Amino acid sequence: MITVEAAAAGEQTVSGTVVPFREVALTAQIGGRVTLVAGAEGDFFDRDEVLVAISDERLVAQRQQALAEMRSAEAAMREAQMQYGREVASPRARNIGQMPGMGMPAMFDQFFTRPMGAMAGMGDPAVDRHADLYSRYIGIDQAASRWKEARSRLEEIDSAIRDTRSVAPSSGLIMRKHVEEGDTVQPGQPLVSFGHVEVLRVEADIPARLVARLRVGDMVRVTLDVSKTEVDARVAQIFPIADPQRHTVTVKFDLPRGVPGGPGMYADVHIPGTDTTPGLVRIPLSAIIPGGALPRVAVVEADGTARVRMVRLGSVQGDMVTVLTGLEAGERILDSPYATIRSGERVDSAA
């Protein structure tokens, strides 16, 4: 008869995948035909290098039109400013008497029209001058408004032209291409996936029961698939939510710079052990009742009788096996039960 003890938790190995430190998906900001895809998967690019270009002929034509509108507005504004300055400096320049061939009309205006208008209260030179100045000022303001409108349109077009170029956000590799030259794309459509690979990470789905052993900043041992290289990786991120189907938690580990290999490669993450694992016990293989479709043990009750109980077994190490469910530490079981033992039988304490 033996007493069940809690299992010592050894190092656990979980498979993972090498991933870029950061991966971004570049999408089309404007619709059109793809005119350039700068490279293939795995090609390296420096920051701000063009990765994908979309046709911009229509936008270039619109830009030329906006520039022409700006030049026209500038000319109109200069003309309005000149007319305003002329009105300020020479308010009587518009007097018809100073125009060639207008001597008699001017004389008639001076001796008859203006005096009669003044007598009737129908004319005020000061008001007329103010109206003329205001009219010239309005001309300047309207021309300036047209120039600002054309300028805003030009800036909008320049922004759209910049959106036809997708550039590398940092130095790194093209991870995946989603388009080819000649394809027609719509706004929001993926173009390429780009990864920053100067620093690599390992991403692994860790069983929820093992995540409690990890803390951000901890160092763990990682074995890379390249020549079985072993390195120490830092726990960088532990996702807060577990997968409800697989009951795993995604954990990311930062690899040191200069490690061999690249994204997509296989890696083993070695989760360190603890003194004991709650809920797990280990028993000798000899304590399993021989025969039967499911593993069973004979638990010795306090009154000296046997109670046959089904258990769920885990990993085997030597002549010991881990029991995942069905037994608790401190319970007593028979070390070598016979195949026909039944619940309720009295057992010898020496069995």
CA distance 77 to 147: 8
pLDDT at 293 over 90: no
CA 28/CA 251 separation, integer angstroms? 31
Q: Are residues 296 and 262 in the same domain?
A: no
Residue 350 in domain: no
Q: Specify if 342 maps to a domain.
A: no
Q: What's the pLDDT tens digit per position in 49-85?
A: 999 999 998 999 999 999 998 888 888 888 877 877 7
Query: Do both 32 and 93 map to the same domain?
Result: no
- 157 with 218, same domain: the answer is no
Based on the domain organization, do 265 and 291 belong to the same domain? no
Instruction: Work out the pLDDT band at 348, boundaries 50, 70, 90.
Output: low
Residues 305, 306, 310: CA angle, nearest 5 degrees: 155
- The model's pLDDT over 115-160, given as tens digits with 9 standing for 90+, comes to 555 555 555 566 555 666 666 677 778 888 888 888 999 999 999 9
- Among 250, 271, 292, the domain-final residue is 271
State which of 271, 306, 325 marks the end of a domain: 271
Express each pLDDT in 80-113 by its tens digit: 778 777 766 666 544 544 444 444 555 555 555 5
**Cα 237 to chain centroid, rounded:** 16
Q: What angle separates helix 57-89 from helix 125-163, to the nearest 10 degrees?
A: 160
Domain annotation covers residue 112: yes
255 found inside a domain: yes
Give Cα 280 to chain centroid, integer Å: 40
Residue 124 lies in a domain: yes
- Whether 341 is in a domain gets the answer no
Same domain flag for 38 and 185: yes
- Segment 193-200 mean pLDDT: 90
Paired strand residues for 31: none
Of 139, 163, 187, at which residue does a domain stop? Answer: 163
Same domain, 62 and 39: no
Domain count, the chain: 3
Per-chain mean pLDDT for the chain: 83
Q: What is the pLDDT of residues 198-242, one digit of tens each?
A: 889 999 998 888 888 899 999 999 999 887 889 999 999 999 998
Phi, psi of 150 (to 5 degrees): -65, -35
CATH code for position 313: 2.40.420.20
CATH number (domain holding residue 223): 2.40.30.170
Which of the four pLDDT bands, split at 50, 70 and 90, describes residue 8? low
Residue 234: its pLDDT value, please? Answer: 95
Domain hosting 293: range is: 279-333
- Residue 340 inside a domain? The answer is no
**Quick check: is 220 in a domain?**
yes
Tens-digit pLDDT profile for residues 154-168? 999 999 999 999 999
- Rounded to an integer, the average pLDDT of 245-268 is 90
Percent of all residues in the chain with a pLDDT value above 70, rounded to a whole number: 81
Q: Which residues contact 190 (CB under 8 A, 6 or more apart)?
A: 25, 26, 27, 28, 178, 179
Residue in 339, 202, 324, 204 with CA at minimum distance from that of residue 259: 202
What's the pLDDT band for 347 if we cut at 50, 70, 90? confident
